[in-house]
Structure 1
Amino acid sequence: MIDTASLREGLARVCERAGLGTLTGEPQRLTGGAVMESWRFSAGGSDYVLRRAPSLAFMEGRPYGHAVEATLIEAARAKGVTAPAVVAVLEEGDRLGSGFVMRALPGTADPKVILGCEDPDGLLRQIARDLARIHSLRKADVPAGVPVIDTRAAIADLKQQFMAAGGDRPIIALGLRWLEDNCPPPVEPVLNHGDYRMGNLLVEGSRLTGVLDWEIAHFGDRHEDLAFGCMEVWRFARYDRPALGLGAVEDYIAAYEAKAGVTIDRERFRFWTIYRTVWWALGCLKMAAQWRSGADRMLERVVISRRTSEQELDLLLLLEEDAPEAERARPVVLPDMSCTYLGEASQEEMATAIAEWLETLKEKLTGHDRFQLAVARNALGMIAREADLLPMESDLLLSEELLAGEKSLHSSGLLADLRSRALQKLSADVPKYPALRAARAKWIGEH
């Protein structure tokens, strides 16, 4: 991460070059952003946001850079999308790496605040409206470099990512095989935002004020963007509101259809929900690889990698619909993980003690440092809970059998075994994940 002095010097150069006025005050690191850094600053009486990569190495292998992303945002604005105005793209002489500067918009991206708004139904309609506008863009409207996604090639790429990450997660293997077996025929591609969900939308009251984070925009099936925002992980605390945590999927789709003038295929919607659940599971796994490589040593990387288990549980909830009734009815048996320690402190107790001490520092920290403290305490909680997790046999062989189609949801006892694994792993990683409570109620009758 860049030091504050270098950041100020670089921003001063950008402000002078772009005619934004004199930099005032200290730049503030914004929380959130699983991939890029965001810094809010003031210059010439106006507020701006710098969006930059944590390192130049972090940009290697990406389909396009920040200059293309900035031009893409301006193209979306021209179509009426509620996106921020880009005022400058970083240059080598700025010595800030790769990124661009936007005018700051009113509102918050905090899902906890947004999901408590007074008019969630009205906000959902605005979100559907802007998505329809994004999907109205064609290749002639955007800069060269925005890729066109071939679905089968994309599935093959996910499979390569899975193997590179060890290839030993059976539920992901099951999902990959399902995608290969159920890939729909191609459709006319439209511009997909690629990350259109709660957390990347700015809202003030019940009004949409900004669509952020365009770094993975591409041309593809419109159902992908629609499905992604309805995944369980982006509902946050509102598990009962499947569409972005705001309302019903049916209402979201109806509002989108009215604005886009199309009819949504529910089977395609399900395919892309499963695809994106696999995609994000692998995206979480990659966070650990990025940390190990040194491309980004932020604490969030290693912690987000453990959120893979959220997607595995969600994926199993989606896929189990295809299992025979007898397998869906088979009871799930969870092992007894209780353990009593005598004498010296256990791993769990030591992790808990450190977490309690970190909590005493909370009031002494502000901004991103306070956010990092919360991430550190989450990490220690994972370590403490994992101490009681019984070791499992290697999942590599089972994953290979599932990828090859040698085993499936029709295999006797497989679904019950995968359910048990998913519950155990997620209970250690993220016990407060809303879908975990729903899965425990559905699978083991716990209330």
Structure 2
Amino acid sequence: MIEPEGRDDAASLAAALERAFARQHGAVPRLSPLTRLSGGASKENWAFSATSDGVERALVLRAAPAESRFESAGVISLPAEASLLRLARANGVPVPEVVCELADADRPGYAMQHVAGQSVGTRILKDEGLAGARAGMARQCGEILARIHAIPLDGSPALDVLMPADAVAALAEGYRATGQQRPVFELALCWLADRLPDCGAPALVHGDFRNGNLIVGPDGIRAVLDWETAHIGCAAEDLGWLCVPSWRFQRPDLPVGGFGTRQALLAGYHAAGGRPTSMDDLRFWQMFGSLRWGVMCAGVGARFAAGVRSVEGGMIARRASETEYDLLALMKESGDA
């Protein structure tokens, strides 16, 4: 889907791109007009092409919005995000190639290659042309996450460190900040505090690895997107987030993104050298992830009630109640009826 673009905004970003190409590549390719893409709550994405020596290349500019509609706590800077993409690509993780970065004096952003494929979660689950890819995606997710968690931390940009106790404490603080009273959230926070896992050595955590942030083709996962909540923490957090019911898109029978099983996910993860992870670890981080999404929805709801309104904000806000059901179901599944 395409959103109407602001001409002045597009022209300003195009000029910044020309300066970036000149500075980093020594020449400016012929750029097509920028077209604003839909999606992305905290960042803008613009499609364009760059032609040089008769070769046209499809690219995407990821830039900071002129005005932020949602909170940016825990979101890394765009320069850090570009650095992480380069680091991930160098370590065998399928991510778009970063082509250039905008200058500090311009709006923060970077241009990356366009990767063809489907990224909308519901379409990934329904497209008949992706049936073969879906069959192996849970295992492939495990393999990719193992590579992400093996990335050496000494080469990563400065990131927040959130081990289990700190992560739960930050989640509790976020919940209090919404000003809402939700007994199920209170119960889930107590459940998590009583079951903090032993994670071992800290690892690079993607932070938002899920169906909807993956580009998929008939051959499988082609790229991992949206690294803006990356941090240092417990590797199993990414595995649990992928299993959150909200990312199954009406396929509750397939807990991994609506396309696979936990067993297949862990099989791929461990076969690729991933850290030892039990079903209990996975359940803890799935509970954490469900509450995290619920708190995020409640936060959007609080801002919506305060007058910061949009259709997207209203739709996200109402989903807080869905996570309450998911949290109770998870507690029942774990034996804590």
What TM-score does the superposition give when structure 1 sets the normalisation length?
0.66
Equivalent-residue separation in structure 1 for 2:273 and 2:324 (angstroms): 32
Give how far 1:17 is off: 2.7
Kindly indicate which of the two structures has a greater share of residues assigned to strand: 2
Aligned to 1:21: 29
Among 4, 8, 12, the alignment partner of 2:11 is 8
Aligned to 2:25: none
Confirm or deny that 1:178 pairs with 2:191.
Answer: yes
Equivalent-residue separation in structure 2 for 1:182 and 1:283 (angstroms): 22
Give me the CA root mean square deviation. Answer: 2.4
Aligned to 2:147: 133
Q: For residues 289 and 46 of structure 1, do their structure 2 counterparts lie closer, same or farther at Cα, with a shift above 3 Å needed?
A: farther
Aligned to 1:51: 62
Aligned to 1:148: 161
Among 124, 132, 138, the alignment partner of 1:114 is 124
User: If you compute each CA radius of gyration, which structure gives the higher value, 1 or 2?
Assistant: 1
Among 273, 276, 279, the alignment partner of 1:260 is 273
Contact 1:278–1:315 under 8 Å retained in 2 = yes
Supply the AA of the counterpart residue of 1:86.
Answer: V
Supply the AA of the counterpart residue of 1:51.
Answer: R
Contact 1:63–1:147 under 8 Å retained in 2 = no
Confirm or deny that 1:35 pairs with 2:42.
Answer: yes
Equivalent-residue separation in structure 1 for 2:74 and 2:288 (angstroms): 20
What TM-score does the superposition give when structure 2 sets the normalisation length?
0.86
Aligned to 1:91: 103
Give how far 1:215 is off: 0.5
Equivalent-residue separation in structure 2 for 1:274 and 1:226 (angstroms): 12
**SS state at 2:131 partner:** coil
* Matching of residues 141-290 of structure 1 within 5 Å: 141-143=155-157, 145-289=158-302
Confirm or deny that 1:124 pairs with 2:131.
Answer: no
Which shows bigger deviation, 309-318 or 15-24?
15-24
Equivalent-residue separation in structure 2 for 1:233 and 1:132 (angstroms): 23
Contact 1:12–1:23 under 8 Å retained in 2 = no
Unaligned 5+ segments in structure 1 are 329-447
Equivalent-residue separation in structure 1 for 2:335 and 2:124 (angstroms): 37
Aligned to 1:309: 321
Equivalent-residue separation in structure 2 for 1:148 and 1:236 (angstroms): 30
Contact 1:15–1:43 under 8 Å retained in 2 = no
Give how far 1:70 is off: 0.6
Unaligned 5+ segments in structure 2 are 23-27
Confirm or deny that 1:105 pairs with 2:108.
Answer: no
**SS state at 1:311 partner:** helix
Q: For residues 128 and 62 of structure 1, do their structure 2 counterparts lie closer, same or farther at Cα, with a shift above 3 Å needed?
A: closer
Supply the AA of the counterpart residue of 2:44.
Answer: E
Contact 1:86–1:100 under 8 Å retained in 2 = yes
Alpha-carbon deviations, 1:173-218, whole Å to 9, x = none? 1111111122223421111111000000001124211100001111
Alpha-carbon deviations, 1:341-363, whole Å to 9, x = none? xxxxxxxxxxxxxxxxxxxxxxx
Kindly indicate which of the two structures has a greater share of residues assigned to helix: 1
Q: For residues 86 and 231 of structure 1, do their structure 2 counterparts lie closer, same or farther at Cα, with a shift above 3 Å needed?
A: same
Contact 2:245–2:290 under 8 Å retained in 1 = no
Aligned to 1:400: none
Equivalent-residue separation in structure 1 for 2:71 and 2:77 (angstroms): 7
Contact 1:190–1:222 under 8 Å retained in 2 = yes
Q: For residues 160 and 59 of structure 1, do their structure 2 counterparts lie closer, same or farther at Cα, with a shift above 3 Å needed?
A: closer
Q: For residues 139 and 319 of structure 1, do their structure 2 counterparts lie closer, same or farther at Cα, with a shift above 3 Å needed?
A: same
Equivalent-residue separation in structure 2 for 1:187 and 1:293 (angstroms): 42
Equivalent-residue separation in structure 2 for 1:59 and 1:276 (angstroms): 18
Give how far 1:56 is off: 6.1
